[in-house]
Amino acid sequence: MPAGIQNVPTLDVFVTRLHESHEVAVYEAVERMVQAAEAVGLDAPALLRMLDRGVRMEELLEVIEERMERSQPAA
């Protein structure tokens, strides 16, 4: 085996790559959520304060959604 190359089991490689792709997906989701919140007047520090006060992620998304709906012109 060439120097510097380790024999890593395929499952370990798969789990590592799955973990890495999951992290990327989570970061992208958080970025989209922050962008949506900013569009309705909530900045990142406000979101963090809400989370620190115990607001669940689901509730936070509901707040953003409600603000989005209120900002839409009446049909």
d(CA 20, CA 71): 36
- Work out the end-to-end distance of the chain between its first and last CA atoms, rounded to an integer number of angstroms: 69
Does residue 4 have a pLDDT over 90? no
Compute CA distances 2 → 5, 6, 48, whole Å.
Answer: 6, 9, 49
Does residue 63 have a pLDDT over 60? yes
Per-residue confidence (pLDDT) for residue 24, from 0 to 100: 83
Q: What's the pLDDT tens digit per position in 6-46?
A: 566 788 888 888 888 888 888 898 899 999 999 999 999 99
Per-residue confidence (pLDDT) for residue 51, from 0 to 100: 92
Q: Indicate left, alpha or beta for 46 from its phi (over 0: left) and psi (-120 to 50: alpha).
A: alpha
Does residue 68 have a pLDDT over 60? yes
